[in-house]
Chain A
Amino acid sequence: MTNELDYLSRRVAAGKLSRRDFLGRAAALGISAPFANSLLSSAARAAGPVKGGTLKAGLVGGESTNSLDPALMMTQVPFAFGKCWGEMIVELSPEGKLENRIAEEIGSSDDAKVWTLKIRDGVEFHNGKTVTAEDVAATLERHSDEKSKSGALGYMKGIDTIKASGKEVVLTLKEPNADLPYLLSDYHLIVQPNGGKDKPDAGIGAGPYKVKVNEPGVRHVGERFANYWQGDKMGHADQVEVVVINDATARTAALQGGQVNMINRVEPKIVDLIKRVKGVTIRNHAGPGHYVFIMHCNTAPFDNNDLRMALKLAIDREEMLKKVLRGYGSLGNDFPINASYPLFTEIEQRKYDPDKAKFHYKKSGHDGSVLLRTSDVAFPGAVDAAQLYQQSAAKAGIKLEIKREPGDGYWNEVWNKQPFCASYWGGRSTQDQMYSTAYLSTADWNDTRFKRPDFDKMVLAARAELDEGKRKQMYHDMAVMVRDEGGLILPMFNQFIDATGPKVAGWVDDPHQELMNGYALAKCWLEA
C-alpha cells in the first residue's frame, strides 16, 4: 500500500495526477486527508524546488510610514520583506534549533559572558562587497545605540563591548546570558554594510532578493540576487512581491482572484469558508502569541492573591477558545510560555471552576463589581471574549463590569496604565526574553506589575545557567510562580493563520512567526 501511495504522490509532484485525484485515491486506500496531504508536500519537496516566476504575498501590516531601516521594523510587511532582502547572523529553524547564517560558528566562555561569532566566508552584499566581521560588529553596534531607536535595543543593551578582529566578532556581556544566540536571531538584526551606519534605509543586505521597488504602504518588490550564498535553499522565484492589503476582506478576495499567492492573518471566523475555496490551503500552526487579561498585582483590589485566583478560576478557557478563536488556538494556563519555546515543561491545566472561584472570591473579602476594560484592538474578538468572561464569572458570583474603550489611544491610555484590561502579546523566541520583557520588577512593560525580588533572582540565575536540565527546572518553577501568584489571566494562545493559493509549494510550518517566520516568499516556489 505504501508503495502505491509513494508512486501516486510522485505522480502528483510530476504534475501527472491532480491533487484532488490523489486525495481520492488515498482515501480509497484508507489514508486520512491530513496524512495524505503531508505525503504530498514531502513528495513535492523531494521533487525539488521549481525556479522562476513571481511569487506574490498580500499582507496586512504595512503603512506608508514604513521604512527599510531594519531598526524601525515593527509590523508584518517590513518584517516579511526584510527576510527577503536581509540576511541574519543566526536564525531559528522551524524545529526551534539555532541555524547558523552569517555566523558560521558561535561559542561562549564557560560563564556565558564572552561570546565569539565566527563569520562565514563568501557571503556577499547586494552592492558586491563581501560581508566582513566589521559589518556584523557595526550592525550590532548600531542596534545597541539609543539613537537608532531599534526594536532590538532592549536586548542589545545587555552587550557591553563589541569587537571585530579578523574573521571573528567578540561580544562581552554585562551579565552572563546563555540565550545570546537566540537574541541574535531577532528580526531587526539584519546585517548591513558598515552596519547601516551610513544610510540605514538603503535596503542593501545579503538576502536572496535585491530590493527593486520600495513603495511603503503600497508594495515592495524583490529581484533574485544572483550571488546569494545559499541559492539552492532560498530565492526560488525570480521575483517576489509584497502587496500591502490591510483590509481582511480585500486580502481574501485577492487570494481567491489569484492576484496574490499567499496572505497572512486569515480571520478565524472565516477560515471554514476559505477552506472550501478550490486551490486555497489554510496554513495554521501554533505560535507563542497569546491573548490575555492583565491585573496589576500592586493595585487594589487586585493586590489580593485570592481575588486574582478567583478571577483566574472564573474564566471558561475552553468556551473562549471555541467561540472566539473557533478552535484555532490552544488553551492557556496563566503563564506566558507554551510548547513553541525551547525548554518548555507541561504544568497541570487550570480549568473553569465556579465553586473554587466563589471560595477564593469570598476569602478575598472583596465586595461589589470588578471593572474590566476591553477594546477591539486589544486582540481580535476581545470585546466578545470579555462578554463571555462576564457570563462565566457571573456563575461564580463575581460581577464583572465591562468598559469598552476606544481603539484609538488604547495602548497609551489603558494598557499598562489601568489595573485590569484585555491585551495581547506576540511572544518572544526564548523564555528568558519573555520573562525579562514583562515579568522582571524593572521591566518597562511589566504590565501585571508583578514585582517580586525572588522571581527576579530566578530569572537572572536561569539566564546564566548553561546546563539545560537545571535550566528547564528553573523555568518550570518560574512558570508555577507566575501561574499561581501573578496577575496574568491567559485564556488562550492564538495560532498564525496564513493561506496559500494554488501551486504554492515548499511550505514548512514555523512556530516562531507567521508566514514561515517571514521566509515564505524566499523559501516557497510555484509549481509548474
Chain B
Amino acid sequence: MSSPIVKLVAQRIALGILLLLAVSVLIFAGTQILPGDVAQAILGQSATPESLANLREQLGLNQPAYIRYFHWLGGVLTGDLGTAMSSGQDIATSIRERLWNTLFLAFWAAIVAIPLAITLGLIAVRYRNGWVDKLISGVALASTSFPEFFIGYLLVFYFAVEHQWFPAISTVYEGMSLGERLQAIALPAAALTLVVLAHMMRMTRAAILNVMQSAYVETAELKGLSGFAVIRKHAFPNAIAPIINVVMLNLAYLVVGVVVVEVIFVYPGMGQYLVDHVTKRDVPVVQAVGLIFAAVYITLNIIADIGAIVANPRLRHPK
C-alpha cells in the first residue's frame, strides 16, 4: 500500500511547490503593473523630480525587473522577506504577530464552524426535504448570501451597541489573557462562521445524499439500522473525501479571505496589514503577504488532496 501512496503524495507536494513558484512570478509581475511606484507613494504630494530620482536610486528601483525578482526570491528562500519600504521595519518580524493573530481568529472560527456545519449537514440529511432540512438550509444560505460586512455590522449593532455584551472593536495585544482575547474576537469569529457555514453544510449534505442512493445504504436500511446509524456508519465514511475538500477550501478562506472582516472589527491581522501597505505601494510587504497567502492556500489544498486520497480506497489502490 505504501509505495503508490507515497508517490502520489510526493507528486502532489512537488506540484504544490511548482505552483508556488509560478504564483511568486505572478505576484511579482502584478506588483510591477500597479500604477505609480513606491518612490512616488512614499513621497506622496511632496514628490519633486529630484527627490523621486534619489529615492528610486536608493531603493534599487532602477534595476531591471527580472534581477529584482531573483534577488527577492533568493531572500525569501533564505527566510529574509526584506524590510518594509515605508516604515523600514523588518517584514518577517512584523508579519509574525499579524499572521499569528489571523491564524488565531481562523482557528476559533473553524473550531466553531466545522463541527457545526457537519452536524447541521448530517441533521439535514436525516430529515431531508422536511421542514428541519429547509430551515437549516434557508438560514445558512441566507447568512452566506449577505456580504460579510453586512453581517459584521448587524452583529456589532445588536451585540455591541444595543446590548454591549461584546466589544465592537477586536483590538488584541500582548499581555491579554486567553479569555480576554476570546471575548475580543467573539464577534468577528461569529461573522466568519456565518459566512463559511452554508458552503460546508450544503456540501456535506450533498455528498452524503449522493452516497445515500447507493445499494449498500439500502442494504443497511433493510437490515434495520436507524437513520443516524446508517449515515454515521455507512454513508459518512464514504462521503468524507468531498467533505474534507470543502472544509479545507473554507479553512483557506478563513485565513486569506478575512480582509473585510478584519477591517470592520479593527482586528490587527494580515488583511489589515496588507491593505495598509497596498495603499502605500509598499511592494516588498505586498509580495510577502501575497506569497504567504498563496502558500497557505496551496498547502491546505494539498492536505485536502492527500486527505481525499487516504480516505478513498480506490485512489489508494489504483489499478
Q: Out of B40, B153, B167, B272, which one reaches A249, CB within 8 Å?
A: B153
The answer to whether A67 has its CB under 8 Å from any CB of chain B is yes
Chain A residues lying within 8 Å of B160, measured Cβ to Cβ, are: 253, 256-257
Which of chain A's residues has its CB closest to B37's CB? A412
The answer on a CB contact under 8 Å between B35 and A413 is yes
Question: Complex Cα distance A412/B153, Å?
Answer: 33
- Chain A interface bracket (under 10, 10 to 19, 20 to 34, 35 or more): 35 or more
The answer on a CB contact under 8 Å between B168 and A250 is yes
The answer on a CB contact under 8 Å between B266 and A247 is yes
Chain A residues lying within 8 Å of B273, measured Cβ to Cβ, are: 64, 217
The answer on a CB contact under 8 Å between B161 and A247 is no
> How far apart are A220's CB and chain B's nearest CB, in angstroms?
11
Q: Out of B47, B164, B266, which one reaches A243, CB within 8 Å?
A: B266
Known: A217-B273, A257-B167. A65 touches B264 (CB 8 A): no
> How far apart are B195's CB and chain A's nearest CB, in angstroms?
18
Known: A65-B86, A250-B265. A217 touches B173 (CB 8 A): no
The answer on a CB contact under 8 Å between A64 and B277 is yes
Question: Complex Cα distance A2/B104, Å?
Answer: 60
Known: A65-B86, A66-B87. A253 touches B157 (CB 8 A): yes
Q: Which of B146-189 contact A (CB under 8 A)?
A: 153, 156-157, 160-161, 164, 167-169, 171, 173
Question: Complex Cα distance A416/B173, Å?
Answer: 41
Number of A-B contacts (CB under 8 A): 97
Question: Complex Cα distance A250/B157, Å?
Answer: 10
Question: Complex Cα distance A239/B44, Å?
Answer: 34
The answer to whether B121 has its CB under 8 Å from any CB of chain A is no
Q: Which of A139-156 contact B (CB under 8 A)?
A: none
Q: Out of A246, A259, A260, A416, which one reaches B263, CB within 8 Å?
A: A246
The answer on a CB contact under 8 Å between B173 and A215 is yes
The answer to whether B242 has its CB under 8 Å from any CB of chain A is no
> How far apart are A61's CB and chain B's nearest CB, in angstroms?
12
Question: Complex Cα distance A334/B84, Å?
Answer: 41
Chain B residues lying within 8 Å of A66, measured Cβ to Cβ, are: 87
The answer to whether B276 has its CB under 8 Å from any CB of chain A is yes
The answer to whether A50 has its CB under 8 Å from any CB of chain B is no
Chain A residues lying within 8 Å of B36, measured Cβ to Cβ, are: 409, 412-413
Question: Complex Cα distance A444/B266, Å?
Answer: 36
The answer on a CB contact under 8 Å between B264 and A250 is yes
Q: Which of A273-299 contact B (CB under 8 A)?
A: none
Which of chain B's residues has its CB closest to A412's CB? B36
Known: A215-B268, A217-B273, A253-B156. A64 touches B168 (CB 8 A): no
Chain A residues lying within 8 Å of B48, measured Cβ to Cβ, are: 444
The answer on a CB contact under 8 Å between B276 and A254 is no
For B86, B160, B169, B263, the residue with the greatest tally of chain A CB atoms inside 10 Å of its CB is: B169
The answer to whether A202 has its CB under 8 Å from any CB of chain B is no
Known: A218-B173, A250-B156. A64 touches B263 (CB 8 A): no
> How far apart are A525's CB and chain B's nearest CB, in angstroms?
23
The answer to whether A411 has its CB under 8 Å from any CB of chain B is yes
The answer on a CB contact under 8 Å between A245 and B169 is yes
Chain A residues lying within 8 Å of B86, measured Cβ to Cβ, are: 65
Which of chain B's residues has its CB closest to A258's CB? B164
Question: Complex Cα distance A320/B156, Å?
Answer: 33
> How far apart are A239's CB and chain B's nearest CB, in angstroms?
14
Chain A residues lying within 8 Å of B169, measured Cβ to Cβ, are: 58, 243, 245, 250, 253-254, 259-260
Q: Out of B46, B88, B263, which one reaches A444, CB within 8 Å?
A: B46
The proximity string for A residues 325-361 relative to B, scoring 1 for CB distances below 8 Å and 0 otherwise, is: 0000000000000000000000000000000000000
Question: Complex Cα distance A250/B84, Å?
Answer: 28
> How far apart are B126's CB and chain A's nearest CB, in angstroms?
40
Q: Out of A215, A412, A416, which one reaches B35, CB within 8 Å?
A: A412
The proximity string for A residues 28-70 relative to B, scoring 1 for CB distances below 8 Å and 0 otherwise, is: 0000000000000000000000000000001000011111000
Which of chain A's residues has its CB closest to B266's CB? A245
Count of chain B residues with a beta carbon within 8 Å of a chain A beta carbon: 37
The answer to whether B45 has its CB under 8 Å from any CB of chain A is yes
> How far apart are A38's CB and chain B's nearest CB, in angstroms?
29
Question: Complex Cα distance A180/B276, Å?
Answer: 36
The answer on a CB contact under 8 Å between B276 and A65 is yes
Question: Complex Cα distance A217/B45, Å?
Answer: 21
Chain A residues lying within 8 Å of B173, measured Cβ to Cβ, are: 213, 215, 218-219
> How far apart are B30's CB and chain A's nearest CB, in angstroms?
14
The answer on a CB contact under 8 Å between A259 and B168 is yes
The proximity string for A residues 229-249 relative to B, scoring 1 for CB distances below 8 Å and 0 otherwise, is: 000000000000001111101
Chain B residues lying within 8 Å of A380, measured Cβ to Cβ, are: none
Question: Complex Cα distance A216/B272, Å?
Answer: 12
The answer to whether A7 has its CB under 8 Å from any CB of chain B is no
The answer on a CB contact under 8 Å between A411 and B44 is yes
Chain B residues lying within 8 Å of A415, measured Cβ to Cβ, are: 45
Which of chain A's residues has its CB closest to B164's CB? A257
> How far apart are B259's CB and chain A's nearest CB, in angstroms?
12
The answer on a CB contact under 8 Å between A217 and B164 is no
Chain B residues lying within 8 Å of A67, measured Cβ to Cβ, are: 87-88
The answer to whether A198 has its CB under 8 Å from any CB of chain B is no
The answer to whether B280 has its CB under 8 Å from any CB of chain A is yes
Question: Complex Cα distance A215/B169, Å?
Answer: 16
Which of chain A's residues has its CB closest to B169's CB? A254
Question: Complex Cα distance A218/B48, Å?
Answer: 32
Q: Out of A65, A253, A409, A445, which one reaches B168, CB within 8 Å?
A: A253
Chain A residues lying within 8 Å of B41, measured Cβ to Cβ, are: 412
The proximity string for B residues 240-279 relative to A, scoring 1 for CB distances below 8 Å and 0 otherwise, is: 0000000000000000000000011110100011001101
The answer on a CB contact under 8 Å between B276 and A217 is yes
Which of chain B's residues has its CB closest to A217's CB? B276
Chain B residues lying within 8 Å of A217, measured Cβ to Cβ, are: 268, 272-273, 276
Chain B residues lying within 8 Å of A58, measured Cβ to Cβ, are: 169
> How far apart are B181's CB and chain A's nearest CB, in angstroms?
14
Q: Out of A65, A246, A259, which one reaches B84, CB within 8 Å?
A: A65
> How far apart are A292's CB and chain B's nearest CB, in angstroms?
14
The answer on a CB contact under 8 Å between B161 and A256 is yes
> How far apart are B127's CB and chain A's nearest CB, in angstroms?
38
The answer on a CB contact under 8 Å between B264 and A412 is no
The answer on a CB contact under 8 Å between B171 and A65 is no
Question: Complex Cα distance A445/B264, Å?
Answer: 35
Q: Out of B156, B268, B280, which one reaches A65, CB within 8 Å?
A: B280
Question: Complex Cα distance A256/B156, Å?
Answer: 10
The answer to whether B305 has its CB under 8 Å from any CB of chain A is no
Q: Out of A250, A260, A412, which one reaches B40, CB within 8 Å?
A: A412
When A and B form their complex, which 5 residue pairs have the shortest distance between CB atoms, in order from nearest? A253-B168, A65-B86, A257-B168, A218-B268, A63-B276
29 A-B residue pairs with CB within 8 Å: A63-B276, A63-B279, A63-B280, A64-B272, A64-B273, A65-B87, A65-B276, A65-B282, A66-B87, A217-B268, A218-B171, A243-B171, A245-B266, A249-B153, A249-B264, A256-B168, A257-B160, A257-B161, A257-B167, A257-B168, A259-B168, A259-B169, A411-B44, A412-B35, A412-B36, A412-B40, A413-B36, A415-B45, A444-B46
